Amino acid sequence: MGSMSLYLFNIVLLSSLILLSNGQEQYENHHNTEQMFDVLDRVHAKCPEITYIYDLPLKSVEKRPLRVIVFSDNPKHHESLEPEFKYVGNMHGNEIVGRELLLQLAEYLCEEYKNGNQAIQKLVDNTRIHLMPSMNPDGWEIAAQHAWNTTEPGQYKDIETMLKEQGAIDWTVGRTNANGVDLNRNFPNLDEFIYKYNQRVNHRNNHLDLETFVALTEGKDCHDQTYQVETITVAFWIMQSPFVLSANLHNGDLVANYPYDDSANHLRMYSPSPDDTLFQQLAESYSHANTNMESPKKPCGTDVFPDGITNGAAWYPVCGGMQDFNYLASNSFELTLELGCQKFPPGKDLANLWNENKRALVNFMWQTHLGIKGLIDDEEGEPIFNASIKVYQLINSNWEYIDHDVTSNSNGDYYRLLVDGTYAIQVKKPGYESQTRHITVHNKEHQTDAHRYDFTLQTTSSEQDNLRRMLRKFMD
């Protein structure tokens, strides 16, 4: 090798080592709010064609933005027949693994897309993915500052080194927002409504009436706390966005938790939703891709979770949680993912946590493409908004109604997550004749398209035509 070639080789090698060192350092350091935003900005600058950054309309109590980065081949807009997905991290401010994993996930999606990873390119091109690293940035700052203030003087040179070496040890400080309210107990308690509605023959089973709820509760949650600004802005984000699937990321145990989170009497007992089989499969799609979560052992020394999953209320009841709010107030099916025993682990553990969860995080996003999707329009080809999609499953020669409808979006597209099986799909909308199709669903691993079934609804006769017919019948 000539001297010039050797020189160039050494330069390339040195550059590679520097990049590897910077990447490792990145994975070993916690990110405060400004550093978190810097990561998102850097990802967007690197992948501007597939990313978009936006803030929710309202800021936190201490005026920090709730920021989201989107990945898609058309990241600024919803596209018909392209489902939307979200991850929300750091809802409890001192539970930080989700926050850091989502930052690393953003970098991973960008890098792998640019590097030609075909699986990631398919996922991004066919899904609109929203990542909110922190729903509670105030709580994170409170937890980190408390850890620094209670550390023995002189033990670490600065707060960054302290967080890297020991993290935050206190189990409770920073969990709540700046007003001392637990955000995962602060959403409207729609479980109470659905349990009451279920006693009626013709009851509403989706997009429950929040105005009625607010009027009855005078704007307070089931713990008599005022709805917080973070809760309000996230709740409207959920209701106004066409999300199909989502997860909120927590710490404190190692398990994938699914609805319902609360029972009818608020006691600890298994409380299945109408989509219980589907939710179990969704939870296993994460836990089975995370070896530690799937393990039958007691990972955190307390509860045993077969297959690494649990029904929420069977574990412990939660009133006013975000998970069930998604299911009952929107089209989104949500899980709560507990990603480790330590709430605020040392930064030096973050690289291992990323390696443990990377495959599961990606695999869960693929589940957005389970089941069916399609377009609903009228005879003129105009999209029909807010049509109800009702599902009946053939079980032991009987058609059983899955008592949870989804609705079509403003441009007429709909998405219904389903496990493998035989179904009757009925589409209904006032003013139109209902339509039913019988289908068979067979999901494939890492499919980029759910089975597509479009519906064209015929308008019903006008009220005036009905009156004319009645008049003719009377005259005859």
Angle between helices 97-114 and 118-126 (to 10 degrees): 110
> How many other CB atoms are there within 10 angstroms of residue 3's CB atom?
7
Distances (CA, A) of 201 to 190, 191, 197, 205: 19, 18, 9, 11
Please spell the DSSP secondary structure of 274-321, one letter per residue. TTHHHHHHHHHHHHTTSHHHH-SS-TTSS---GGGEEEHHHH---SS-
Cα 340 to Cα 29, 90, 292: the distances in Å are 18, 13, 9
315 φ, ψ (degrees, to nearest 5):
-80, -65
Cα within 13 Å of Cα(449), Cβ side? 6
Residue positions counted in the chain: 476
- Tell me if 223 sits within 8 A of 180, measured CB to CB: no
Give the DSSP per-residue string, 338-369: EEES-SB--GGGHHHHHHHHHHHHHHHHHGGG
Verify cis geometry, omega within 30 degrees of 0, for the bond prior to 197. Answer: no
Concerning whether 338 is annotated as a catalytic residue, the answer is: yes
Residue type, 246: S
d(CA 381, CA 376): 9
d(CA 461, CA 88): 46
3-state secondary structure 107-169: HHHHHHHHCCCHHHHHHHHHCEEEEECCCCHHHHHHHHHHHHHCCCCCCCCCHHHHHHHCCEC
Question: Annotated catalytic residue: which of 95, 107, 338, 356?
Answer: 338
Catalytic residues: 338
